[in-house]
Amino acid sequence: MTLATPDPPSTISPAWPHCGHGADPAIDPVGCRGIHVPGHAACLAHLDEADRAAYLASLAPGADIDHRGTPFSGALLGELLDALRDPTTSHPRIGIAWFDGATFTRNARFGGATFTGDAVLDGATFSGDVWFDGATFTGTARFGAVTFGGVAGFDGATFARIAWFGGVDFNGDARFGAVTFSSTAGFDGATFARIARFVTATFNGDARFGAVTFSGTAGFDGATFTVAKFGGVTFAGNAGFGGATFSDIARFDGTTFTSDARFDGTTFTSDARFDGTTFTSDARFDGATFTGSARFGAVTFAGNAGFRGATFSDIAGFSGARFEAASRLGPLVCGDKVSLDGAVFQQPVTVEAAARRMSCVRTRWASTATLHLRYAELDLRDAVCEYPVVISARPAPFPRRSESDSVLPETHLSGGRRSVRLTSVSGVDAAHLALHDIDLSECRFAGAVHLDQLRVDGWCTFAATPTGWSRRFPWRWTRRNTLAEEHHWRMSTARSPAPARGWTTPHAEASELRPAAVAALYRQLRKSLEDGKNEPDAADFYYGECEMRRHDITRPWGERSLLTAYWAISGYGLRASRALAWLAAAMIVTVAVMVLWGLPADDPKPQITGRQVAAGQQITLTTDTPDPAKPTGPWTRRVTAERFEKALRVVINSVVFRSSGQNLTTAGTYTEMTSRLAEPVLLGLAVLAVRSRVKR
């Protein structure tokens, strides 16, 4: 930053004799740093008493002074300020003040002073304490490369224009409590060896703390910043920004917090940037409010990362962050997206967040983790789960601080679906992944491994088939659980919009899968559901697997034909209504055949035949039943209640593998044999389908 330097006054006071400083150490025992401007009073310390008194008497409140390189004792500074004291306010009033290279050997008190012009103290040295409490700097205030040996007190001071503290060494406490910086406040390269207090300070312009080193505690609690730039700053002690307000950009890029960093209750009205920041100890953002985007990219949290009760109106970015010891993240509320892309969690952690979207692409959990989420649309692509990771939906809002406290407001999420939706597990080793009460209707499983070991518990929902009747064909889809990949495949292979009605359109980045690949996904997830004793949903996935095998043109024609017949007859043994419908149709056909052709015209009666012989001879009698007579005549004579009852008895017995004992014609006999083979199979398929829905 370039600061304009005021021109020194040509005539500040009468041509008081100067001490000839810098010419010879013998005549300059105190040392005025070699600054020599003829005709000015820089050598006030070396004037004799009469000349000094005359010079001071010539000063009036608001006068310009030039004391560059002057060594000031406490008494000499007091005499100078008394000469400039305004009788109305009882405080010094100074015009342009030149103190470049001046040395203040004792305590320096400028409390309540008013600098109506520029105040230039570049390179000055304060060996003792210095007090500018309540001072007012109307012009530019320059403290570049100043050395403060003791306390530097600026509490309540007001800087109307630029305040420059670049390269300053604060060897004692730096007190800037309730200071008002109306323009730029530059502390670039400054060093704070002890406590730095900016409590309730107001920064209306840019606050620049580039490459600053805070060796002690840095307190900015309750401060107000318009534009704050702390890039590259090192906080060796505790850093407190509790209750501070950042009205515009807050930049902490590359900052290092060696001790605790407290941002409790801080308000970031605009963007907050912490990219590359290192928190060696605990970082606390409890109750912080981020109205703009918050970027914590590549941040290192070596201690706890406290965001309990934090609220993000925009994006909360933790991409590439490292959580080395954090056991908890949140609960927090984000109106847009929480990004944990590439983040690393080294220790067991619980993440609690209510957000519209949450991205965990390439996130690595090196230990156990539990994610309690609300509203979120979660992306887990290429995430690494080295230990069990549980993702569950929280039904109730999160508390602010403790379980007994009031809940976090979710106004940024009003109108959104409260269910947690998982969009992708592509590239994930699902062996350590457990899902509880998660919406999986849009989840893409393609590319994941060990899906057969995925734990799906609670009320996890999958995509469903379309509802309603087809417009082209007289059928309707039976409702069943499906994978998003099947939806995408059916949409991509649909010949017209009518068959594809109700199927989900694939995302732009979703790759088209072949039926064989979708069948493999169904098979693995079916195994997972079966291991979890979820037989009904596992049955739906068996149906989906068979559907994909039936549509796989790479399979043999015979196998596909068999699957087609299996699908048409009983829905792969999973549709009881379909099997019962076929059974009813078969029984109706069998009854009709029996009535028309299977039952004889009349039941044959046994006949006894023999041969007449002479008396005393043995008689031989033969009993025989004649073959049933094929019914003849018109159909109206054959269809009678009696014949229908007999035919129905034959058919019902054939379903349960029993013989009716009814005499039948040749056509009826073969019809009964066929029905005793086919109809029990249909009944068995119906029973099997019912069993698949009620099996525990």
Based on the fold, state whether residues 566 and 581 are members of the same structural domain.
no
Residues 508, 526, single domain; the answer is yes
Among candidates 212, 218, 150, 155, which has minimal Cα distance to 187?
A: 212
550 and 598 both lie in a single domain: no
Tell me whether residue 59 is in a domain.
no
Q: Are 296 and 251 in contact (CB under 8 A)?
A: no
Task: For 465, list phi and psi in degrees, rounded to 5.
Answer: -70, 160
Q: Where are the beta strands (DSSP E) in 523-629?
A: 607-610, 621-624
Least confident of 59-73, 93-107, 494-508: 494-508
Q: Is the pLDDT of residue 170 over 60?
A: yes
Checking if the pLDDT of 153 tops 70, the result is yes
Domain count along the chain:
2
Q: Is the pLDDT at 12 greater than 50, yes or no?
A: no
The share of the chain scoring above pLDDT 90, in percent, equals 46
Mean pLDDT, rounded, for 605-610: 64
List the single range of 46-60, 260-274, 341-355, 382-396 with lowest mean pLDDT.
46-60
- More confident site: 665 or 97: 97
Last residue of a domain, one of 570, 586, 616: 570
Q: Residue 414 pLDDT more than 90?
A: no
Find the mean pLDDT for residues 441-464. Answer: 90
Task: Give per-residue burial for 406-442: e unless 16+ CB within 10 Å, then b.
Answer: eebebebbeebeebbbbbbbbbbbbebbbbbbbbbbb
Please report where in the chains the tokens 């534009």 appear, as a residue: 227
Residue 305 counted as domain residue = no
What is residue 103's predicted lDDT score, i.e. its pLDDT?
A: 93
pLDDT above 60: residue 276: yes
CA angle 575–577–579, rounded 5-degree value:
75
Domain match, 660 and 628 both: yes
Say yes or no: 551 and 660 in one domain. Answer: no
Same domain, 656 and 690: yes
Looking at the domain assignment, is residue 37 inside a domain? no
Is there a single domain that holds both residue 561 and residue 582?
A: no
Range of the domain at 489: 467-570
How much is the pLDDT for 633? 66
Q: List the single range of 25-34, 164-173, 438-447, 497-506 with lowest mean pLDDT.
A: 25-34
* Closest CA relative to residue 518, chosen from 481, 544, 538, 491: 544
Report residue 679's pLDDT band, with 50, 70 and 90 as the boundaries.
Answer: confident
Tell me the pLDDT band of 10, cut-offs 50, 70 and 90.
very low
What contacts 24+ positions apart, CB below 8 Å, involve 73-78?
Answer: 73/45, 73/105, 73/106, 74/105, 74/106, 74/107, 74/108, 74/128, 76/44, 76/45, 77/104, 77/106, 77/108, 77/109, 78/109
* Amino acid 42: pLDDT: 45
Residue 441 phi/psi, 5-degree rounding, is -70, -25
Reported pTM: 0.79
Q: What is the mean pLDDT of the chain?
A: 84
First to last CA, the chain: 75
Among 21-30, 90-99, 415-424, 552-561, whose mean pLDDT is lowest? 21-30
Mean local confidence (pLDDT), 598-625: 66
Does residue 590 sit in the same domain as residue 685?
A: yes
Average pLDDT over residues 182-206: 91
Domain assignment present for 508: yes
CA 9 to chain CA centroid, Å, is 61
Output the pLDDT for position 371: 96
Instruction: Let me know if residue 4 belongs to a domain.
Output: no
Same domain? 516 vs 584: no
More confident residue, 306 or 44: 306
- Looking at residue 545, what is its pLDDT? 92
Say whether both 587 and 535 belong to one domain. no
- Identify the pLDDT of residue 28: 41
Show Cβ contacts of residue 113 under 8 Å, excluding neighbours closer than 6 positions: 81, 91, 92, 93, 94, 132, 135, 136
pLDDT at position 471 = 57
Q: What is the mean pLDDT of residues 595-604?
A: 71
**Domain C-terminal end among 543, 570, 597:** 570
Same domain, 560 and 472: yes
Amino acid symbol at 248: D
- Contact, 552 vs 516, CB < 8 A? yes
459 found inside a domain:
no
Confidence grade of residue 546 (pLDDT, cut at 50, 70, 90): very high
Same domain for 688 and 600?
yes
Does 352 fall in a domain? no
User: Which of 542, 570, 598 represents a domain boundary (last residue)?
Assistant: 570
Note whether residue 312 is domain-resident: no
